Amino acid sequence: MAKGGIGHTESESDSFDRHISLYSRHSRDYVESVSKEICSVMTRLGYGEEIRRWRIEKYREMDRLSNARRSDITKITAGSKAEGLTCLLESDIDVLFVQNGVLCVEFDFDLHTIPDDIGLFRMDTSVYPGHCRLPQERQAHTRIDIIHNALWDNGYGEVLLVVVYCLMNFLRHFHLNFHPECPNINARGRHYRIPLMR
């Protein structure tokens, strides 16, 4: 049994199970040497700890440079790229776009702790399990079209954020595909862009 499993052995008086695995046939020193060799090969292939830390820092630097050009959106690289596991063109790129100037808070949150120039929405989770309403508490000082064009007056004095409209506005504004199974593809590979609000 090279793959491992449970072997059954019977003796005269009783029976017992013993664990059979690949490692049970080899000494501990052999297993450690194989592990070190695998680590050495992975390092030579570009997956060592030092190169991973370097990649993480470079992706963060790319995000910082991109965020320095824009004040309305904060870009955050996520997934395998953010963990330094893959090179630039090796796999897809997962990017989170966080809308600045807007904040969603729970109903019991103290609004006086949030600066006045930030638009606020309260999360009302009393509607359906797994869903929430987002009534607007206050507008941001600067108009954010992606948010403003997704507001809806419900006729009872509440202005609600319609998340589907907000998502469609975001995708339209950045000229992105709507369906997540159709990522944006360019010379640098597949880009999955996910819009968020804090």
* 74-130 confidence digits (pLDDT tens): 888 888 888 888 877 777 778 888 888 888 888 778 887 888 888 888 888 887 877
φ, ψ of residue 175 to 5 degrees: the values are 55, 50
φ, ψ of residue 106 to 5 degrees: the values are -75, 165
Spatial contact of 149 and 165, defined as CB atoms under 8 Å apart:
yes
- In the chain, count H helices and then E strands: 5, 11
| Alpha-carbon span 196 to 63, nearest angstrom | 16
Select from 111, 117, 153, 148 the least CA-distant residue to 135. Answer: 153
Select from 27, 24, 28, 51 the least CA-distant residue to 39. Answer: 51
pLDDT of residue 16: 47
Mean pLDDT of the 154-159 span? 85
Select from 114, 83, 118 the least CA-distant residue to 99. Answer: 118
Q: What mean pLDDT value characterizes the chain?
A: 76
Phi-psi region of 157 (alpha: psi -120 to 50; beta: other; left: phi over 0): left
pTM: 0.60
How is the beta sheet containing 189-197 ordered, strand by strand?
A: 73-78, 93-99, 189-197, 184-186
Spatial contact of 8 and 14, defined as CB atoms under 8 Å apart:
no
| Alpha-carbon span 70 to 66, nearest angstrom | 7
The answer on pLDDT for 164 being more than 50 is yes
pLDDT digits (tens, 9 = 90+) for 39-51: 888 777 777 888 8
**Which is more confidently placed, 102 or 14?**
102
The answer on pLDDT for 63 being more than 60 is yes
pLDDT of residue 113: 83
Percent of the chain with pLDDT over 70: 75
pLDDT of residue 90: 77
The answer on pLDDT for 142 being more than 70 is yes
Spatial contact of 105 and 123, defined as CB atoms under 8 Å apart:
yes
